[in-house]
């Protein structure tokens, strides 16, 4: 059974001005998403800046979201690392703290082989009972999780149930869907906001979205249109949002989306170094895209 169908949101981690995590805002954001139809929340995925958090505060952020959600919405904890032992610790801790699932990015920087990826994920899957979503984003990690590898892992490990596909390669996603369809072993979520409709046309169940941080109801409605048998509406909504989606990725994520939230008065706070404020030209592009989309700005 799928962890969720629809629009999951890769939630930002709000910070105070001193760059401490703002746990009160995490609680506020959880309520915001529940009230606006978000179907799942991913805490401390790439958008949540986990690479600049120490392990303890990473675990505290996940636990805070779990407690705020009170099982009203699935909380999926980002537990990927380039250190298998660290991922073992964080995944077990998140299970203990009540997470509903785990998102595990391919190990970054190490550039593991496909054999190494199989050994890494198999070891992690054996250590927990929670369902696991593999996360393939080669542009950030330097390694590509091949379709054959993902399907083998799903067949060999009962709790590896899905892939967040952010390779940007629709031919690869099609191959993944073809290999997985006979056994039904692997759900697919779009990891790119500009490819929701195409990936759903290949059998995807939804998206793990950045756009959903600022337009959660729109993102939910777009995905549900497809799931409810109206692909034309889903496609139109996808295209209507494309300028905003592109603006949200005109600098490395999560710089633009966190900036957008601050412009909207959502008080996401600062980015942690080495991320920094947007270049002026890109900031103006983002402002224009937000207002053209009908989002009111307060700054």
Instruction: Report the 10 Å Cβ neighbour count for 198.
Output: 16
First-to-final CA distance of the chain: 43
Catalytic center residues: 135, 164
- Separation of alpha carbons 14 and 213, rounded Å: 12
Strands annotated E in 44-180: 75-78, 101-105, 132-136, 160-165
> What is residue 15's three-state secondary structure?
strand
75 pairs with which residues across the strands? 41
Q: Are 62 and 94 in contact (CB under 8 A)?
A: yes
- Separation of alpha carbons 40 and 61, rounded Å: 16
Closest to 100 in 3D by CA, of 69, 56, 131: 131
- Separation of alpha carbons 41 and 294, rounded Å: 24
């Amino acid at each position: 059974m799928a962890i969720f169908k629809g629009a999951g949101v890769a939630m930002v981690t709000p910070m105070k001005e001193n760059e401490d995590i703002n746990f009160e805002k995490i609680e506020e954001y959880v309520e915001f998403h529940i009230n606006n139809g978000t179907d799942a929340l991913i805490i401390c995925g790439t958008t949540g800046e986990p690479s600049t958090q120490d392990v303890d505060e990473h675990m505290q952020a996940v636990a805070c979201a779990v407690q705020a959600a009170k099982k009203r919405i699935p909380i999926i904890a980002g537990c990927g690392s380039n250190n298998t032992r660290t991922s073992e610790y964080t995944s077990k801790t998140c299970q203990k703290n009540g997470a509903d699932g785990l998102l595990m990015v391919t190990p970054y920087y190490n550039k593991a082989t496909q054999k190494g990826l199989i050994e890494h994920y198999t070891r992690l899957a054996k250590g927990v009972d929670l369902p696991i979503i593999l996360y393939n984003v080669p542009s950030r990690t330097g390694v590509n999780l091949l379709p054959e590898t993902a399907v083998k892992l799903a067949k060999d490990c009962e709790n590896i149930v899905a892939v967040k596909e952010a390779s940007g390669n629709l031919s690869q996603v099609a191959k993944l869907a073809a290999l997985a369809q006979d056994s039904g072993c692997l759900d697919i979520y779009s990891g790119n906001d500009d490819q929701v409709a195409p990936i759903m046309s290949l059998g995807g169940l939804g998206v793990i979205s950045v756009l959903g941080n600022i337009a959660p109801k729109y993102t939910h409605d777009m995905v549900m249109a497809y799931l409810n048998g109206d692909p034309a509406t889903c496609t139109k909504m996808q295209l209507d949002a494309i300028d905003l989606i592109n603006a949200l990725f005109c600098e490395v994520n999560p710089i633009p989306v966190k900036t957008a939230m601050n412009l909207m008065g959502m008080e996401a706070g600062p980015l942690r170094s080495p991320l920094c404020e947007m270049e002026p030209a890109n900031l103006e592009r983002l402002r224009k895209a937000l207002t053209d989309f009908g989002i009111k700005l307060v700054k």
